Structure 1
Amino acid sequence: MGAQAAENAPPIGLIAAGGVLPFAVADEIVARGRTPVLFALKGICDPKPLSRFRHHWIGLGQLGNALKLLKAEGCHDLMFIGNLVRPAVSEIRIDWGTLKELPYLWSAFRGGDDHLLVGVGRIFERHGFHMIGVKDVAPNLLVPMGQLTRSRPNDLVSGDIVKGLAVLRAMAPFDVGQAVVVIDGHVVALEDIEGTDGLLARVARLRTDRRIRAAAGRGVLVKAPKAGQDLRYDLPTIGPRTVEGLAAAGLAGVAVAAGLTLLADPQETVSAADRAGVFITGVTA
């Protein structure tokens, strides 16, 4: 898209949850000559960086209000971005607009996280919005193929990466986690509702309890989207906290699906990995 066309294009709406990613994506959109408008989830989105962008606060479950604001801002393209713990239906304070969509919303909740996000996305699509993903507006935030750090996986760890990818492919039909830890050919932990940070903390506890006997600096965290996943939603993400977790868990590094994994705060993440002596590598999933 040319500069003039980008300037004349309608704004892009971001349903912004937690973490730094909503603002990183918004910055990329600005750099490409488009205007982001953030629809920040109350109690979840960080308010401090929000003032740099056009924004509105919306309550979780306030679908009617969100639709009204999106249309008033002239947003056609829309994306979900940021960290969000799956809410219970009882925690959602619905408005009239949500009440009208309740049968579709209830159906979306009856499944895993990917099923939920796709279901909510379809509700917005039924109202005329075009759901997009990070690759459409901020491809620079996706992990490239190859090595990002000074440290590299050795032959033993490379075998662990291959096994980890195979495990994730096998898990895909069940719409569960997007990460697994493999050490010396042994699958020691799978991601569940606690997320990647919780997974790495669990591996660290297993080391402390001597349930894992392998020496520190062995093994790998492998992350990839689920096979068949709608890649507009819930891509795997790594960032500085992932690096902290890798070091605490005594792992050699992390291998992620290249072009399909978000890198939060790229410069700090890679620098932190180099300081900790762990690797980050993008692989073919």
Structure 2
Amino acid sequence: MASKLGILAGGGDLPRQIIAQCQSENRPFFVLGFEGQANPADYQDVPFRAVRLGAAGRSMEILRSENISEIVMAGHIRRPSLAALRPDKVTMKFFLKTGAKSLGDDGLLTAVIRYLEEEEGFRIVGASSLLPNVTLPLGPLGRHGVDDDAHADIVRGLEVLTIIGPADVGQGVVVQDGIVLGVEAIEGTDALIERCAALSRKGKGAVLVKMRKPGQETRVDLPTIGPGTIRNLSKNGFRGIAIDAGGMIILDREETLSLADKLGVFIQAVAPLET
């Protein structure tokens, strides 16, 4: 039997997807949800404990009391200020040792993983290693394909992400008629879609391109979409989305693809540009 899995849960549906996978495999698990990030109401039917994001010491105590040796980090985390974090002694020690306060998302996640593995003795696994069908075939994933205009916007988006990716800015860019309407930053994909809807032009809708960043720590930050993404794209007049064929989590995959077909939104799996 696989070891008991510790699920460090933020917001969104990914933690529940991992829970469902554990249940299907009869794998024991325990959920540690971060206050203000994970919704406790989503975990009333499973082993769960809530903890402050800045209470690393308490988190380690809980995980050890549950005999956890393997951890997956799942769900989005809104990055708080240091004051709002209210770090305990263990968290403050981490910040002082790593200089994590000044790191971007990728650098911070890499530092967290290194700390958990080297200092605390846990093994970190990626959600992609727990969920099936993460690698996708190139091309359309549903009924709707891309025309020449959409293809050109996708290529433009890939060019932009290739340039900004090393700067650790974001995973997504919105393009319409070759014009970049917006780049994902700290706000997340849904907010990017809504922000760019107000900037869109008449004619064919915009395209969202979402890819892994070069050197991204994919064990904790693999790009993710789901039914909510498709609804948001459709509601805001987008034509579709291009996603990373090399590694992308599609939550509720059957529902996501069916919804895209129904709403006329294309989902195109693409490869990053060669550099």
Q: TM-score, normalised by structure 1?
A: 0.88
What amino acid does structure 2 have at the position aligned with 1:268?
A: E
Question: SS of the counterpart of 2:48?
Answer: strand
Q: Is the 8 A contact 2:54 2:88 kept in 1?
A: yes
Question: SS of the counterpart of 1:158?
Answer: helix
Question: SS of the counterpart of 1:176?
Answer: coil
Q: String of CA shifts for 1:184-231, please: whole Å, max 9, x gaps.
A: 222222112222112111221113xxxx24x13x44110001011111
Task: Find out whether 1:187 has 2:174 as its counterpart.
Answer: no
Question: How many aligned residue pairs are there?
Answer: 270
> Aligned residue for 2:222?
235
Q: Is the 8 A contact 1:113 1:175 kept in 2?
A: yes
In 2, Cα distance between equivalents of 1:200 and 1:133: 26
Question: SS of the counterpart of 1:222?
Answer: strand
Q: String of CA shifts for 1:23-74, please: whole Å, max 9, x gaps.
A: 1112112323422211111232122231332222211111011111111222
CA displacement at 1:143 relative to structure 2: 6.0
Q: Is the 8 A contact 1:163 1:185 kept in 2?
A: yes
Superposition pairs for residues 104-143 of structure 1, below 5 Å?
Answer: 104=97, 107-125=99-117, 126-140=119-133, 142=134
Task: Find out whether 1:22 has 2:15 as its counterpart.
Answer: yes
In 2, Cα distance between equivalents of 1:109 and 1:100: 12
Identity of aligned residues (%): 37
List gaps (5 residues or longer) in structure 2: none
Question: SS of the counterpart of 1:101?
Answer: helix
Superposition pairs for residues 259-278 of structure 1, below 5 Å?
Answer: 259-278=246-265
In 2, Cα distance between equivalents of 1:239 and 1:54: 25
Q: Is the 8 A contact 1:108 1:117 kept in 2?
A: no
In 2, Cα distance between equivalents of 1:219 and 1:67: 45
What amino acid does structure 2 have at the position aligned with 1:108?
A: A
CA displacement at 1:94 relative to structure 2: 2.5
In 1, Cα distance between equivalents of 2:78 and 2:92: 22
Cα distance change of structure 1 residues 111 and 22 upon mapping to structure 2, 3 Å threshold? same
Q: Is the 8 A contact 1:221 1:253 kept in 2?
A: yes
Candidates 234, 237, 242, aligned match of 1:250: 237
Candidates 174, 189, 192, aligned match of 1:196: 189
Candidates 52, 60, 70, aligned match of 1:67: 60
CA displacement at 1:128 relative to structure 2: 0.6
Question: SS of the counterpart of 1:123?
Answer: helix
In 1, Cα distance between equivalents of 2:79 and 2:142: 33
Q: Is the 8 A contact 2:95 2:101 kept in 1?
A: no
Candidates 74, 81, 84, aligned match of 1:88: 81
List gaps (5 residues or longer) in structure 1: 1-6
What amino acid does structure 1 have at the position aligned with 2:9?
A: A
CA RMSD of aligned residues (A): 1.8
Candidates 184, 199, 202, aligned match of 1:206: 199
Question: SS of the counterpart of 1:206?
Answer: coil
In 1, Cα distance between equivalents of 2:164 and 2:105: 14
In 2, Cα distance between equivalents of 1:102 and 1:191: 26
In 1, Cα distance between equivalents of 2:5 and 2:46: 12
Q: TM-score, normalised by structure 2?
A: 0.91
> Aligned residue for 2:145?
152
CA displacement at 1:97 relative to structure 2: 2.8
In 2, Cα distance between equivalents of 1:42 and 1:63: 13
Residues 224-233 or 151-160, more deviating:
151-160
